[in-house]
Structure 1
Amino acid sequence: MSYKAEYIWIDGTEPTAKLRSKTKILPDGAEPPLWGFDGSSTNQAVGEASDCVLRPVFTCPDPIRGGDHRLVLCEVHLPDGTPHPTNNRAKLRPVVERFAAHEPWFGIEQEYTFFQAGRPLGFPDTGFPAPQGPYYCGVGADEVFGRAIVEAHLDACLAAGLPISGINAEVMPGQWEFQLGPGGPLEISDALWVARWLLYRIAEDHKVVATLDPKPVKGDWNGAGAHTNFSTKAMRESYAPIITACEALGERLKEHIAAYGHGIEERLTGRHETAPWNEFSYGVGDRGASVRIPWQVEADGKGYLEDRRPNANCDPYEVTRLLIDTCCTALEKAGQL
């Protein structure tokens, strides 16, 4: 007997990478081996030297095919075994190892928007729907659109064993969110890429496009982000390290913004629950700040922070790498381990 292994990887498309996948048939019980692909077709190689290598790093049950079939998330490597330049997961690994003693945890809130026939799902054929307001966490066919896809995606993530922790309708018609975590940086980042693949694949069956565009509709409509909740062992035990982390993030504003997703200037305008992309601020319960400290964290005197800047189209390997490096470096300098 045999099973189907769906190899999934992140390509080299710029400015925002895409997901690719293909199927390998393997004998029952066999571990997914290294495999190759044509990098010249994925913006990762040139035609005269097109071979790239898929190195499996995470597997889970395939909830679409069912049975013993598997999803196989891969890193991309060069034929000599070194990580491909587009392999941001490989850049995260040494940072995770360096700061392992801090026990960093993450939770990511992935927003996305459904499109059909070139318009957000729920938008009329011409013009615009009623202004945003009733759609967030709404109920009823006049307020939410695409729930069948969202529920199917939730069930698929649960069946795959991904650490999904919730879903909700968002502020604009056709816009939704799912949350992953808490968990370690590699665990949550891997799960997010697989959850994105499942979202695209399930929406495909409904003839709907799921997009991570950070500003899918121009004008007076919310954008789409990937708010990232972050803590270390010290932050989960006391409040001072949270302030230290916030102050450190303000000192590396440009570096973080540059890695938080293409089109961030269109979304982080200072309106629609965002802070301006070129300014840094933090505050308790402030959804208009770059970084929000939840009110219960201040009340408890410990917990986590929420970086509200990452775009929906961000690479979680880059976001988690920068948050760990910036915050844990500052905590070590302050002696807050």
Structure 2
Amino acid sequence: MRHSKKGAPTNSAKFRAIKAQNGTINRMEQLLNLDVTPYTDKIIAEYIWIGGTGIDVRSKSRTIAKPVEHPSELPKWNYDGSSTGQAPGEDSEVILYPQAIFKDPFRGGNNILVICDAYTPAGEPIPTNKRHRAAEVFSNPRVQAEVPWYGIEQEYTLLQTNVKWPLGWPVGGYPGPQGPYYCAAGADKSFGRDISDAHYKACLYAGINISGTNGEVMPGQWEYQVGPSVGIEAGDHIWCSRYILERITEQAGVVLSLDPKPIEGDWNGAGCHTNYSTKSMREDGGFEVIKKAILNLSLRHQDHIKAYGEGNERRLTGKHETASIDTFSWGVANRGCSIRVGRDTEQKGKGYLEDRRPASNMDPYVVTSLLAETTLLWEPTLEAEALAAQKLSLKV
């Protein structure tokens, strides 16, 4: 009995500590979920921009006096470019220009996410601002007349936090060979579905034009699709969706990787296949327009490869549903080609093409604008066109 009495306070203290800890967590969650809309007109705007690597997303928050409906209603802002690799320390101010707004799925209410691009104080786009150049291409009357549509398939890999090894894989080891994981269900085949589903719903809430998602061929790898989106909107939606995915994986304690070949060996890489069509491609006779576009793309193959993501040479090997990085090819329903045309498009004589070359870490502003520029604005010489048509067996 004496032993029990001595032990009782210790157990009680532990219980009180756990209860207090849970109480603190609950109060934190209550504050995070607090809807301030009934109490103030003010909103929180999360300004998002692309950092110095060209692939990292940065953000910071700002209070805005009232809800807004258009980015033009938002003030410009600035940040320390010397801390993101985008400006020297002695002249570090970089200016953010709001360009697109989305509803904030994390804070809810009237709060927003703001996609920005970056400029010097003198108003010049900084080197990592790829949106500015893309906007110039998409504002060209010839491009606007063709209403370019994009459907982008963003693949990504989920990694365990401390070991940077794919989610669901044994640490330092490998799962069974590829085959059972693609679009699969089951605890031994699907790893990270909650993250994919949470991201799907968050994107729908935000107003991102997400059109689907699926588990990929390599276990721990997923894909979501955004589109069809018109012009510059495609890049804005992909960057915002990437930011949301970074935030969700942050909360889940999982690392997001956009590396195009995260695991060497007999494993699929991660791409960002870009489906593309113009008004002329979507109308009767569009297949001939698609063939002309493919011809142009073949002549600028190396220009596109240089702009399609870092480390892509590790992915584009001619294996694992890719074409060789050194050789341009196209085919109907062939996933081993640079450009794939769907069987549906061939049968209907109109539709779209799929550029399978972009890596998972590509900049969507660069890829979408380059596709439009090469197929709508760039004109090859007649000699080059004839040689390319012969080589690719294209009749245009």
TM over 0.5: yes
Match of 1:109 in 2: 153
Q: 2:95 aligns with which of 53, 62, 66?
A: 53
TM-fit CA distance, 1:54: 0.5
Match of 2:109 in 1: 67
Match of 2:173 in 1: 127
3-state SS of paired residue (1:218): coil
The separation in 2 between residues aligned to 1:111 and 1:4, in whole angstroms, is 30
Match of 2:62 in 1: 24
TM-fit CA distance, 1:125: 1.6
Match of 2:47 in 1: 7
Q: 2:323 aligns with which of 269, 272, 275?
A: 275
3-state SS of paired residue (1:55): strand
The separation in 1 between residues aligned to 2:247 and 2:215, in whole angstroms, is 20
Match of 1:264 in 2: 312
Tell me whether 1:97 sits opposite 2:139 in the alignment.
yes
RMSD over aligned CA atoms reads: 1.4
- Structure with the larger helix share: 2
| Residues 196-225 of structure 1 deviation map (CA, whole Å, 9 limit, x = unaligned) | 000010011110011100001000000000
The separation in 2 between residues aligned to 1:79 and 1:94, in whole angstroms, is 20
Q: 1:79 aligns with which of 121, 124, 128?
A: 121
TM-fit CA distance, 1:86: 1.2
TM-fit CA distance, 1:34: 0.4
Whether the aligned pair in 2 keeps the contact of 1:226 and 1:311 (CA below 8 Å) is: yes
TM-fit CA distance, 1:313: 0.1
| Residues 39-84 of structure 1 deviation map (CA, whole Å, 9 limit, x = unaligned) | 0001110000000001000011101111111101101011011211
Match of 1:203 in 2: 249
Ranked by relative contact order (alpha carbons within 8 Å, sequence separation 6 or more), the top structure is 1
Tell me whether 1:293 sits opposite 2:337 in the alignment.
no
Whether the aligned pair in 1 keeps the contact of 2:67 and 2:110 (CA below 8 Å) is: no
Q: 1:329 aligns with which of 377, 380, 387?
A: 377
The separation in 2 between residues aligned to 1:185 and 1:236, in whole angstroms, is 16
| Residues 161-213 of structure 1 deviation map (CA, whole Å, 9 limit, x = unaligned) | 11000000000111000000001121111000000000010011110011100
Segments of 4+ in structure 1 off by > 4 A?
330-334
Stretches of structure 1 lacking an aligned partner (at least 5 in a row)? none
Tell me whether 1:234 sits opposite 2:272 in the alignment.
no
The separation in 2 between residues aligned to 1:333 and 1:306, in whole angstroms, is 25
Match of 2:82 in 1: 40
3-state SS of paired residue (1:279): coil
| Residues 73-115 of structure 1 deviation map (CA, whole Å, 9 limit, x = unaligned) | 1010110112112110000111112121111110000000000
| Residues 120-174 of structure 1 deviation map (CA, whole Å, 9 limit, x = unaligned) | 0011123200001111000111110011111110000000011000000000111
Whether the aligned pair in 2 keeps the contact of 1:244 and 1:330 (CA below 8 Å) is: no
Identity of aligned residues (%): 52
Match of 2:195 in 1: 149
Counterpart of 1:91, as a letter, is R
TM (normalized to structure 1)?
A: 0.96
The separation in 2 between residues aligned to 1:329 and 1:37, in whole angstroms, is 36
Match of 2:291 in 1: 243
Match of 1:177 in 2: 223
The separation in 1 between residues aligned to 2:255 and 2:51, in whole angstroms, is 19
1:310-329 matched pairs, under 5 angstroms: 310-329=358-377
- Structure with the larger strand share: 1
Match of 1:213 in 2: 259
TM-fit CA distance, 1:331: 8.0
3-state SS of paired residue (2:202): helix
Determine which structure has more spread, i.e. the larger CA radius of gyration: 2
Stretches of structure 2 lacking an aligned partner (at least 5 in a row)? 1-39, 383-396
The separation in 1 between residues aligned to 2:381 and 2:148, in whole angstroms, is 17
